Structure 1
Protein backbone atom coordinates (compact mmCIF):
# COMPACT_ATOMS: atom_id res chain seq x y z
CA UNK A 1 0.00 0.00 0.00
CA UNK A 2 1.18 3.50 -0.78
CA UNK A 3 0.30 5.39 2.40
CA UNK A 4 1.41 8.77 1.02
CA UNK A 5 -1.03 8.48 -1.90
CA UNK A 6 -3.80 7.41 0.48
CA UNK A 7 -3.16 10.45 2.67
CA UNK A 8 -3.15 12.67 -0.43
CA UNK A 9 -6.48 11.21 -1.60
CA UNK A 10 -7.98 11.76 1.85
CA UNK A 11 -6.78 15.35 1.91
CA UNK A 12 -8.12 15.96 -1.60
CA UNK A 13 -11.50 14.72 -0.36
CA UNK A 14 -11.24 17.32 2.42
CA UNK A 15 -11.62 14.67 5.10
CA UNK A 16 -9.78 14.25 8.38
CA UNK A 17 -8.61 10.91 9.69
CA UNK A 18 -11.34 11.14 12.31
CA UNK A 19 -14.04 11.64 9.65
CA UNK A 20 -12.83 8.70 7.57
CA UNK A 21 -12.55 6.53 10.67
CA UNK A 22 -16.15 7.36 11.59
CA UNK A 23 -17.34 6.47 8.07
CA UNK A 24 -15.47 3.16 8.30
CA UNK A 25 -16.80 2.46 11.80
CA UNK A 26 -13.34 2.21 13.38
CA UNK A 27 -11.42 4.22 15.97
CA UNK A 28 -9.40 7.20 14.78
CA UNK A 29 -6.22 5.67 16.24
CA UNK A 30 -6.88 2.46 14.32
CA UNK A 31 -7.41 4.40 11.08
CA UNK A 32 -4.20 6.31 11.71
CA UNK A 33 -2.24 3.07 12.08
CA UNK A 34 -3.83 1.69 8.92
CA UNK A 35 -3.09 4.84 6.91
CA UNK A 36 0.53 4.66 8.11
CA UNK A 37 0.72 1.03 6.96
CA UNK A 38 1.31 -0.33 10.46
CA UNK A 39 -1.74 -2.58 10.14
CA UNK A 40 -3.66 -3.62 7.02
CA UNK A 41 -7.09 -2.51 5.90
CA UNK A 42 -9.65 -5.27 5.52
CA UNK A 43 -11.18 -5.87 2.09
CA UNK A 44 -14.45 -4.43 3.35
CA UNK A 45 -12.68 -1.28 4.55
CA UNK A 46 -10.91 -0.88 1.21
CA UNK A 47 -14.22 -1.15 -0.65
CA UNK A 48 -15.70 1.51 1.63
CA UNK A 49 -12.64 3.74 1.14
CA UNK A 50 -13.06 3.58 -2.63
CA UNK A 51 -16.50 5.16 -2.20
CA UNK A 52 -15.61 7.50 0.67
CA UNK A 53 -12.63 8.96 -1.22
CA UNK A 54 -14.23 8.57 -4.66
CA UNK A 55 -11.19 6.70 -5.99
CA UNK A 56 -10.85 5.82 -9.65
CA UNK A 57 -9.66 2.35 -10.66
CA UNK A 58 -6.26 3.85 -11.45
CA UNK A 59 -6.02 5.54 -8.03
CA UNK A 60 -7.09 2.31 -6.29
CA UNK A 61 -4.44 0.41 -8.25
CA UNK A 62 -1.71 2.90 -7.27
CA UNK A 63 -2.68 3.11 -3.60
CA UNK A 64 -3.59 -0.46 -2.71
CA UNK A 65 -2.00 -2.66 -5.38
CA UNK A 66 1.23 -0.78 -6.09
CA UNK A 67 0.20 -0.57 -9.76
CA UNK A 68 0.13 -4.35 -10.19
CA UNK A 69 -3.00 -4.30 -12.38
CA UNK A 70 -2.55 -3.30 -16.03
CA UNK A 71 -4.97 -0.35 -16.08
CA UNK A 72 -4.73 2.11 -18.95
CA UNK A 73 -4.42 5.85 -18.64
CA UNK A 74 -7.84 7.26 -17.79
Structure 2
Protein backbone atom coordinates (compact mmCIF):
# COMPACT_ATOMS: atom_id res chain seq x y z
CA UNK A 1 0.00 0.00 0.00
CA UNK A 2 1.60 3.27 -1.12
CA UNK A 3 0.14 6.71 -0.61
CA UNK A 4 1.18 10.33 -0.50
CA UNK A 5 -0.81 10.75 2.72
CA UNK A 6 1.41 10.95 5.80
CA UNK A 7 -1.12 10.39 8.57
CA UNK A 8 -2.09 6.72 8.91
CA UNK A 9 -3.69 5.24 12.01
CA UNK A 10 -4.09 1.49 12.39
CA UNK A 11 -7.41 0.43 13.83
CA UNK A 12 -10.35 -1.91 13.88
CA UNK A 13 -13.78 -1.36 12.33
CA UNK A 14 -16.28 -1.21 15.19
CA UNK A 15 -19.43 -0.14 13.35
CA UNK A 16 -20.72 0.36 9.81
CA UNK A 17 -23.90 2.34 9.19
CA UNK A 18 -24.88 1.71 5.58
CA UNK A 19 -26.89 4.21 3.61
CA UNK A 20 -28.10 4.24 0.03
CA UNK A 21 -25.22 6.28 -1.40
CA UNK A 22 -22.84 6.82 1.54
CA UNK A 23 -21.98 4.90 4.69
CA UNK A 24 -20.34 5.76 8.02
CA UNK A 25 -17.44 3.56 9.08
CA UNK A 26 -16.27 3.86 12.69
CA UNK A 27 -12.69 2.82 13.36
CA UNK A 28 -11.22 2.43 16.84
CA UNK A 29 -7.58 3.60 16.86
CA UNK A 30 -4.98 4.32 19.52
CA UNK A 31 -5.90 8.01 19.12
CA UNK A 32 -9.62 7.34 19.65
CA UNK A 33 -12.59 6.58 17.42
CA UNK A 34 -12.49 7.98 13.90
CA UNK A 35 -15.60 8.11 11.72
CA UNK A 36 -15.21 8.13 7.96
CA UNK A 37 -18.02 8.82 5.51
CA UNK A 38 -17.36 6.89 2.29
CA UNK A 39 -19.51 5.63 -0.53
CA UNK A 40 -21.49 2.48 0.14
CA UNK A 41 -19.99 1.14 -3.09
CA UNK A 42 -16.50 1.51 -1.53
CA UNK A 43 -17.63 -0.34 1.62
CA UNK A 44 -18.82 -3.20 -0.56
CA UNK A 45 -15.79 -3.14 -2.91
CA UNK A 46 -13.42 -3.34 0.07
CA UNK A 47 -15.56 -6.02 1.71
CA UNK A 48 -15.51 -4.07 4.97
CA UNK A 49 -17.08 -5.67 8.01
CA UNK A 50 -17.01 -5.13 11.77
CA UNK A 51 -13.79 -6.50 13.23
CA UNK A 52 -11.64 -5.85 10.16
CA UNK A 53 -8.17 -4.40 10.72
CA UNK A 54 -7.79 -1.24 8.61
CA UNK A 55 -5.74 1.92 8.28
CA UNK A 56 -7.40 5.32 8.51
CA UNK A 57 -5.52 7.60 6.11
CA UNK A 58 -6.07 11.24 7.00
CA UNK A 59 -5.61 14.25 4.76
CA UNK A 60 -6.42 17.66 6.16
CA UNK A 61 -5.99 20.86 4.21
CA UNK A 62 -6.64 22.84 7.37
CA UNK A 63 -6.59 22.06 11.08
CA UNK A 64 -8.02 24.67 13.42
CA UNK A 65 -7.34 24.94 17.13
CA UNK A 66 -9.90 26.52 19.42
CA UNK A 67 -9.70 27.23 23.12
CA UNK A 68 -12.96 27.56 25.05
- In the superposition, the TM-score normalised over structure 1's length comes to 0.28
Q: Which has the higher strand share?
A: 2
Q: Which has the higher helix share?
A: 1
- In the superposition, the TM-score normalised over structure 2's length comes to 0.29
